[in-house]
Amino acid sequence: MTIVKIANCVHNKSMANQVLVGEAKAKEKVELAINRDALKKIKHVAIAHSAVAREMFPTKDAYEAEYEVVARAAEVHKCIEKLEIPAKLYPGDQYLLTNLLIDKPDFVLNLVDTLKGRDSLQTSVPAALELSNIPYTGAGMEGLVIGNNRNLTKHLLISYQIDTPQFQFIRRSGTQIDPSLAVPLIVKLNESGGSVGIDNKAVQETAKDAQKKVDDMLTRYKIPVVVERFIDGTEITACVFDDGTKNHVFMGEKVFRTKPDGKHEFTSFESYEDEKSYRYKAVDEQLEAKLAPLVVRTFNGLSFKDYAKFDIRVDASGTCYFTDCNPNTAFGPDKGLPFTEVLALNGISFTDVLTSLLSKYAPS
């Protein structure tokens, strides 16, 4: 899948879901904090994004999943220019810090997901910016270390009494899956986002098949994996945006059109090519009220900042399992992006979010 296909997929999904904006809940619209006077003081915004080349990634699908950030950063750039605020794009390569020190932006809008193709190196950006006293948006070093490590995230969720599916962290091929893990099982890369490694056959019905999946992924990606009990049930996407005055929580329930494997509902890497693979609808008010404080507790407990996305599965008993926690989730204007789509469902435009974020970091 080329970048053109990825861009078209997101665009088509955006068009397919525009009708959902009209389904926004009939309640008072949230007003995000925006300091218009502060916006006028911004002289230069640096938009840092991933530098992407095929040789940086172990597989073609991992490369394709990351390449979209280049086009997304360009779209964000256009949005900032429409606000009549000077901005410039900066690839996240070995010259990033040097270029920033020369140009001296007011702050950095950090859209860097990987460095040299590795999610784990993402923390180098906030580290360098803090060392140089350059303000930046999004999670800091601690939040990115946690968010880029599913094993660590899950242990912290447990410590904060947040339910997460039973799991096992596996580093080496040949390590046997704990027989106490209940099937079905899903195998995920410990350090990767964008559904990389989660194909249409990701959910395994037997421990034997899951074992083969584990060994295959360890060999292919050279990254540890997490084997997790797959939770059948309602999937909720919960987004947090901190406008400087409050952690706002917005939610949408995923309505899947098809089951990738014919048995279970989930988002696979292949489903990104299908603009109708799922849509969002409003979340039941009682469930939303139950989840909101858990989402805020998780956002703060994992040291996330500014914005984040959480995937939550609700089983037949009503137990809410946090399955994925994503700091600095894909940030851009296209409604095909879950963060933007869920906010739109709740009556919040990307322009609202972007303007609020920029005013939050504007010079005082």
pLDDT of residue 171: 95
CATH topology (fold) of 164-229: Dna Ligase; domain 1 (3.30.1490)
Look up the pTM and report it. Answer: 0.89
Structural domain boundaries in the chain: 3-11+19-152+232-361, 164-229
pLDDT band at 9 (very low <50, low <70, confident <90, very high): very low
Residues 6+ apart with CB under 8 A from 185: 177, 203, 204, 207, 210, 227, 228, 229, 230
Task: From residue 292, give the alpha-carbon distance in Å to each of 53, 95, 180, 289, 310.
Answer: 39, 41, 31, 6, 11
Q: Render pLDDT for 189-247 as a digit per residue (tens, 0 to 9).
A: 998 765 777 888 889 999 999 999 999 999 988 899 999 999 999 999 999 999 999 99
Dihedral class, residue 218 (left if φ above 0, else alpha if ψ from -120 to 50, else beta): alpha
Q: Which two tokens stand for residue 169?
A: 């962290």
**Max Cα separation, the chain?**
61
CATH code of 3-11+19-152+232-361, in short, is: 3.30.470.20
Asked if 27 contacts 350 with a C-beta cutoff of 8 angstroms, the reply is no
Task: From residue 217, give the alpha-carbon distance in Å to each of 198, 202, 273.
Answer: 10, 11, 22
Q: Render pLDDT for 292-317 as a digit per residue (tens, 0 to 9).
A: 999 999 999 999 999 999 999 999 99
CATH fold match for the domains 3-11+19-152+232-361 and 164-229: no
